[in-house]
Amino acid sequence: MFQTISWVSLSLVLVVVLLHWLVSPLRLPKREAAGQFCWGCIGEADSSLGKLNRLACVVALGSLAVLFVTGFGGRLLLGEAIHGYTQMVHVCLAPVFVISSGVVLVGWGHRCRLNGDDRQDLADLLRLRGANPADLGWKLTFWLAMFLVVPVSLSMVLCMFPIFGTHGQESLLALHQYTALALVLVVLIHMHLLLRRCCK
């Protein structure tokens, strides 16, 4: 069941992102300015804090990609649970992801705060009043991703202690899998919205 849900949800998000780029293409910056332009979306290029923030983003995204491959690769392709060296890499890299996510939260938190206009757009969106969620989406997906890091990591930490019985550990494993899937989907959407915002 989890394998099917994973394939369907990942495919759906990737198709929607691709269709969005095809229906509403953006002009990308020139090649010589592209790197500097995209990094400018993440933080100030000259400040030490901006460099730390960019490094934390790269480490968080890279470790999430490896965690996704190690955690989902065997399940999606072979229908097997994680084991062996793959599990060792997964477990060793998880703290790196959690720590870098914390740095990203501190570095990006102020930029992604919801101001008065954002709250009004969110209220209009919830009331189906035709608000434009373009600027709101990347902030909401950021906070949702940061929120999902907590159950993803906490569910596995709790599994390491003999507090819960067999059924409890199975429930924690299921919680870990589904929240990890949700985290990957939200990060994909966030990166898509952030890239479109940078290219405007």
* Distance of alpha carbon 132 from alpha carbon 167, whole angstroms: 44
pLDDT tens digits for range 107-153? 888 887 777 776 776 776 666 665 556 667 788 889 999 999 999 99
Report residues of the chain scoring pLDDT below 70. 26-47, 118, 121, 124-135, 199-200
**Other beta carbons within 10 Å of 185:** 20
Amino acid 63: pLDDT: 92
Q: Where are the domains of the chain?
A: 42-111, 114-200
Amino acid 32: pLDDT: 42
Instruction: Report helix, strand or coil for 114.
Output: coil
* Distance of alpha carbon 72 from alpha carbon 75, whole angstroms: 5
Token output for 142? 């950021």
pTM for the model stands at 0.82
Token output for 72? 């989902």
Distances (CA, A) of 35 to 39, 134, 174: 6, 23, 39
Amino acid 46: pLDDT: 55
